[in-house]
Amino acid sequence: MQHCGMTTLALSKRGSLTLPPALRRKLGLDKLRNPLLLVEERDGGLFLQPAVALPVRDLPKAQIQAWIARGEADMKAFQRAAKPRGK
């Protein structure tokens, strides 16, 4: 069923979704050998968008370093929050 850009999909017992051919064409997924989708949980629902996989060697070094720094900062914040507070 399609209405206002929304499509209803059946979920298999194994958790798989099959996107209708028209939607795969619209997103350009039909032209890719191994299409990928990013799935984001938003406001109690799922948001899907096409993704691209790049070899790490093709990523700018500065981007990788920024991701590492952000991950380390997130880990420190998590560890601080997880420490028991004394009374």
Does some domain include residue 47? Answer: yes
pLDDT 10s digits, 4-59: 577 888 999 999 999 999 988 988 888 888 888 899 999 999 888 888 888 888 88
Does some domain include residue 56? Answer: no
Does some domain include residue 16? Answer: yes
Range of the domain at 6: 2-51
* Count of the separate structural domains present in the chain: 1
Angstrom distance (rounded) from CA 87 to CA 34: 55
Q: What is the rounded average pLDDT for all residues in the chain?
A: 86
Does some domain include residue 66? Answer: no
CATH number of the domain at 36, please: 2.10.260
Does some domain include residue 81? Answer: no
For residue 85, pLDDT over 50 is answered with yes
pTM over 0.75, yes/no: no
Query: Do 19 and 13 touch, CB atoms closer than 8 A?
Result: no
Does some domain include residue 21? Answer: yes
pLDDT of 87: 57
